[in-house]
Amino acid sequence: MPYAAVNGIELHYRVDGEQNGDAPWIVLSNSLGSDVSMWTPQVAAFSKHFRVLRYDTRGHGHSAAPAGPYTIEQLTGDGLGLMDLLKIERGPPGTRTGSTASCCATRRRASVRLKCGCRAPRVRATKAC
């Protein structure tokens, strides 16, 4: 199991799909109370077109669980920190934790494109970002 030291904690992550190619990245974070395995049914299909980064959010799965509470800014920072460590410059964050983290990531890094599963006409970042 690979781990990465990000923002003072150890995050568990997995990379699937073409490792040395130029396929775009898709970054998937687990929803509350779950782990990277929640994405297992989708990985085969996603891996045909993307390099897939899945990681356990702090306090979940095999990632470290420091004392909380955790903020959306921390969770966003963990995801972006992991992307930096793995040298992922561009990738749409797929998040089940909510579109707020995706909005925060988009505001903090212009090269991250927002992709969320909602059909809302507009998504606004919160003040937490």
Longest dimension (CA), the chain: 39
What is residue 92's predicted lDDT score, i.e. its pLDDT? Answer: 53
Measured CA to CA in angstroms, residue 30 lies from 20, 22, 39, 53, 94 at distances of 25, 25, 8, 11, 9
pLDDT, one tens digit for every residue, the chain (129 residues): 899 999 999 999 999 987 767 888 888 888 888 999 999 999 999 898 888 899 999 999 999 999 989 888 888 889 889 988 998 876 555 444 444 455 555 555 544 443 433 333 343 444 444
- Predicted local distance difference test score (pLDDT) of residue 33: 87
Quick check: bond before 41 cis, omega within 30? no
- Structural domains in the chain, sorted by start: 3-108 (3.40.50.1820)
